[in-house]
Amino acid sequence: MDHDGGGIYFRYVGETRLIKPGELRQIIAGREQRAIAEFSARMGRVAIGKEATIDLDSGEVAGTSGKFVIDKALLPNIQFVREGDFSQTTGAPALRLIGDVESVSEAERERTRVIRENVTPDAVVRNFLRNEKVAEPMQYIHFQAHAQRKWFPVWFYVDQTKLTVNGVVEDLRGQVATYPSSRDALVNRLAGKDAAFRQSTGKAEALRAKLVRGEITAPTDIDQDVVFAAAVQALPTTVKPKDLETIRKPLLHCLDRAQGADARSSNRRGSIYRAACRLDELLYAKKT
């Protein structure tokens, strides 16, 4: 097939002349079908798992066992067809859509992105205090069966799993725990047999009374952090949710100030972790 002076010439038997419109469409359609067939085969090999993702800007498709790139020239020709809807144009290249396609902002993608290997004690507490959703909440629950500490927020993550509490408990009981006592303590908390509540005294009790009244005064140094954490641990179930929400940020600042490697910092972190647990109970235990 040749191109000359704006016309497309095709070599027929015994002659070369302008190609007929119908035959040109057949050639283009054939090339598209071969390209789509190749793409579908490659997608099937990549998405051996349950799903694959496609970046419509770059053409990159990533699945459970690898990734590949679709030629950008093909992207405008690909239609997403909802499973069960077979009214698409005959012969049009299509990808079957299982579930929903949603537009997600870059900021929201960043908030929900979680690297499984990076689940740490600090991350479990910090994500809760920042009120950040995570992509794999069960990993944050499983982690607590492998941590020596026994006080981490859990109801926040149970709420994100959409499982029943009994379902989460059964899952935990089936785990091979590094610290069985931590796993058992977590199961007891989920079963309502234990809680992070601890009675306050002295300065902490005075501050607790203010917190109950909605008078939230953020601590500004490490000595105040200890008192604040003890007061939060003693909060009753009668505190209003909006007042509980205002405690997240001050408690997060307490955590920031307790990042030292010494024993005193470790003790402060333990108190802050338990305070976060109490806040977690009050905010989410009734929802699950």
Over residues 104-145, the pLDDT tens digits come to 455 555 544 444 446 899 999 999 999 999 988 999 999 999
192: left (phi over 0), alpha (psi -120 to 50) or beta: left
| Mean pLDDT, rounded, for 87-112 | 50
Whether the pLDDT of residue 201 is over 80: the answer is yes
Question: What average pLDDT does the structure give for the chain?
Answer: 80
User: In the prediction, which pLDDT does 114 show?
Assistant: 43
Phi (first) and psi of residue 143, to 5 degrees: -55, -35
Q: Is residue 217 pLDDT above 70, yes or no?
A: yes
Calculate the alpha carbon distances from 254 to 28, 95, 196, 222, 262 in Å: 65, 50, 18, 7, 16
Rounded distance, CA 104 to CA 53, Å?
13
What percent of the chain lies above the pLDDT cut of 70? 66
Amino acid at 217: T
Check pLDDT > 70 for residue 2: no
Range 9-30 average pLDDT: 72
DSSP reduced 3-state for 119:
coil
pLDDT tens sequence across 20-70? 777 778 877 878 888 777 777 666 665 555 556 666 666 666 665 555 666
The CB density around residue 279, as the number of other CB atoms within 10 Å, is: 25
Looking at the predicted structure, is the pLDDT value of residue 284 above 80? Answer: yes
pTM of the model: 0.61
